[in-house]
Amino acid sequence: MDRFTSRFLSQVQVLQDQLENLLSKDWGPQNQIKSVPFEVLTDLTQLETLGWALPDRDPERSQVLFDRLAPYFESGLCFHYESEDPSQGWIRWRLSCAFSQGKIFPLLPQDLEKQVALPQMQLTEIRKMNAAALLAQLDLKDLQTHPELATLVIRPAGRRLWILFSNLPDLFLKTHINAIHEHSLGLLADFVEDE
């Protein structure tokens, strides 16, 4: 073996030792991705973007708008009109979709059969209700991310009802929901519902 070959082999051996040394180190958990906890978007200056490229027809228009509210609330439920009992003043609503922690919440086919009856309300009203009782009734307790969620009910269109859950302090929540409600009403006001 000549001198060049012997020197080359010794350097390869050094590299191999270093590589083995690196591979034998414990680098901690592999494939661990740090998940960033969800934070509600409180910057209301971006509300005008909710109306960008909305479908021209309802119910698709109100559906897309509801989906775009996901960053502004911990979770939300969208219902569509099912039936009405004028003598009792109640309207029955059927669950159509949901979001949680900024993402669309997958509903099972049996979830789409779930209904809730609520007193009649005007488009301009915002009502509060008990989150735990409602989610227990619908068997969707997974959406309750915090024990003291504020539950807000709004009717952005005649045949749509949104129930939105927020953990914001009451001081900020009123401004937050009023701005979003007003903007949503403006985006849905001139559209005839097809359902």
The tens place of each residue's pLDDT in the chain, 195 residues long, gives 677 788 778 888 888 888 787 777 766 655 556 678 889 999 999 898 998 998 888 788 999 999 999 999 999 999 999 998 888 889 999 999 999 999 998 888 999 999 999 999 998 899 999 888 888 888 887 776 677 789 999 999 889 999 999 999 988 999 999 999 999 999 988 666 655
CA–CA separation, 135 and 8 (whole Å)? 71
Decide if 101 is inside a domain.
Answer: yes
Nearest to 98 by CA among 160, 162, 146, 145: 162
Instruction: Tell me the three state secondary structure of residue 150.
Output: strand
| Residue 161 in tokens | 């009802």
Query: Measured between alpha carbons, how far apart are the two ends of the chain, in Å?
Result: 87
Q: Which domain holds residue 100?
A: 58-188
Task: Give Cα separations from 195 to 16, 25, 60, 110, 126 (angstroms).
Answer: 70, 63, 10, 21, 23
Residue 11 resides in a domain: no
CATH code (residue 141): 3.30.450
Would 98 be classed as within a structural domain?
Answer: yes
Which amino acid is located at 35 in the chain?
S
175 in a structural domain: yes
Please count the structural domains in the chain. 1
Whole-angstrom distance, CA of residue 159 vs CA of residue 86: 15
Residue 86 lies in a domain: yes
Q: Is residue 2 situated within a structural domain?
A: no
Give the integer Cα–Cα distance in Å for 153 and 131.
Answer: 11
Q: Does some domain include residue 49?
A: no
Instruction: List CB contacts of 195: < 8 A, sequence separation 6 or more.
Output: 58, 59, 80, 81, 159
pTM, two decimals, is 0.78
Task: Answer whether residue 83 is part of any domain.
Answer: yes
pLDDT at position 42, please? 92
Cα dihedral sign, 145-68-154-117: negative
